Structures are given as C-alpha cells and as structure tokens.
C-alpha cells in the first residue's frame, strides 16, 4: 500500500498529466467513473488558473482581447512549473513568457506594469517620508537624515509605446515608470531617465546626503534636490522611526 505522500504525488500527477498517469489502485469506483470525476476536478483547477491569471492582468486582457489573451494564457498555465504554482504567484513569469512568444514591447510592458502594481499592493505597510519631516532641518541634519526605500515602490524601465489601457499616462511618453503606494492608493509616476537613475540609488543610500551625492552625479546642482523632492512626494522613500 503506497504511503500518503506517494498517493498524493500520484494523484497530482494524474491531474496534471492526464489519464496515462492514472493510479489504478487508488479509487473504489471503476476506472471510467474515477476518470470522469478526475477530469471534472482537473477542469475546475485549470479554469481557476486561467481566472487567476486574468485577475492579475485585467488591462492586458482588455488590450489583447479575450480570444488572444485566453490562447496565450492557456499555453502559459499548461507549463509544468506553472501547474505546481500557487494562484497568488501564478502570474509572476507571464511578461517573460510573452517575450518568449515574440509579443510586442507594449504588451510586455503592460504585463510588467500590472504585475508590479500587484507587488506594490501586496507589499508591507510603511509610513512614507514626507517633506514636512525634513522641511525645518538644518543643512547638517538634513544631510545626515536617514532614508530607506519604501517597500511598495516598484521601478520599471519601459521598452515600447504605452498601451491605451493606461489612460492616466496618456499625456506622457516616459522612459521609466515608478509605482508607489504612499497611502492606500497605488499611483503611477512617469520618470525621466535621470529620475529613474536616482530612484535606483535609494536602496543603496543610508542618508539623505548619500542620495543627494548620487543625484548630483546624475544632474546639475540646480535640479538635483528637485528630483529628490519629486521622489519624496511620490512616496518612494519611507520614514525611519526612531528607536
């Protein structure tokens, strides 16, 4: 008699790989009846994967149209490693899959943006740094002020024209996009090449002085602090509480 672990593995293999992996000695009913029940169960799981993927990418679903999105989604979820993935993370590799299938930069960017939005939504809570936290500081205190990346911030370099399913960005042609969640709402922030490069440095900085040094390397003195202010206002940095 197989162990519980072995039985579970055989049962899962049958659901994922079909009747050729049917465990003859596992069910009391005859094979035809058992297979009928397993087929219904497998179809339910397959449908759940497709629905979960559609829920991850509602704008991409609209952009591509239902038939095209459904076709590529089914190809994606039928991969062996996706069959063993939990539904919360099922969409993590979808943008890369679209790239492998030679989809355009607009579709791939939109997939990356929607997944980054989900990551931002699911990220840890943290109080964002506000301009009022540093507005009255003397220069030395400002330069020594501790900074850290807000856990909800995501940064994307864009490769193609933006999808019309991003109407909030219709008036922009950004090189990069920052996604931030300073409070309850998740917001998109178009960035220039310089702003993106400064934002990338936040995680490596311990103080405002460090961040300003990086900004000065990437832009002139007149605009360096303006770029940092924009990042603060967007919610890219978190407030570090005193112990």
Q: What is residue 183's predicted lDDT score, i.e. its pLDDT?
A: 84
Residues 14 and 74 in one domain: yes
Domain-located, residue 113:
no
pLDDT 10s digits, 157-208: 999 999 999 999 999 999 999 999 988 899 999 999 999 999 999 999 999 9
**What is the reported pLDDT for 73?**
96
Could you report the average pLDDT of every consecutive run of 10 residues in the chain (243 residues)?
A: 61 57 58 53 72 96 97 93 88 97 97 98 94 95 96 96 96 95 92 95 95 95 93 94 64
Do 139 and 61 belong together in one domain?
Answer: no
User: Total domain count for the chain?
Assistant: 2
* Inside any domain, residue 155: yes
Whether 110 maps to a domain, the answer reads no
Burial-class residue 179 by CB neighbours within 10 Å (0-12, 13-18, 19+). buried
Residue 115 lies in a domain: no
Residue 117 included in any domain: no
Do 21 and 94 lie in one domain? The reply is: yes
Is 131 in the same domain as 243?
yes
Instruction: Write out the residue range of the structural domain in which residue 48 sits.
Output: 1-103
Q: Is residue 118 part of a domain?
A: no
Residue 50 within a domain: yes
Task: Mark whether 1 and 96 lie in a shared domain.
Answer: yes
The answer to whether residue 92 sits within a structural domain is yes
* Cβ pair 149, 237 in contact under 8 A: yes
pLDDT of 87: 87
**How much is the pLDDT for 31?**
58
230 and 157 inside one domain? yes
Clarify whether residues 86 and 134 are in a common domain: no
């Amino acid at each position: 008699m197989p162990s519980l672990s072995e039985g579970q593995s055989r049962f899962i293999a049958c659901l994922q790989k079909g009747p050729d992996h049917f465990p003859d000695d596992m069910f009391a009913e005859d094979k035809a009846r058992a297979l009928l029940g397993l087929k219904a169960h497998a179809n339910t799981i397959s449908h759940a994967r497709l629905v979960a993927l559609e829920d991850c990418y509602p704008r991409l679903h609209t952009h591509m149209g239902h038939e095209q999105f459904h076709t590529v989604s089914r190809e994606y979820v039928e991969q062996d490693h996706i069959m063993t993935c939990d539904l919360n993370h099922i969409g993590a590799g979808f943008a890369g899959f679209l790239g492998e299938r030679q989809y355009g930069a607009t579709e791939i960017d939109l997939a990356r943006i929607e997944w980054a939005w989900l990551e931002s939504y699911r990220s840890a809570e943290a109080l964002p740094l506000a301009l009022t936290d540093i507005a009255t500081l003397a220069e030395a205190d400002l330069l020594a002020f501790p900074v850290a990346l807000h856990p909800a911030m995501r940064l994307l370099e864009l490769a193609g024209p933006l999808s019309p399913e991003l109407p909030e960005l219709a008036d922009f042609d950004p090189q990069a996009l920052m996604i931030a969640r300073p409070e309850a709402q998740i917001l998109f922030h178009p960035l220039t090449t310089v702003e993106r490069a400064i934002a990338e440095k936040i995680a490596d900085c311990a103080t405002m002085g460090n961040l300003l040094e990086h900004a000065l390397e990437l832009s002139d003195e007149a605009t360096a602090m303006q770029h940092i202010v924009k990042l603060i206002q967007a919610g890219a940095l978190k407030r570090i509480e005193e112990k």
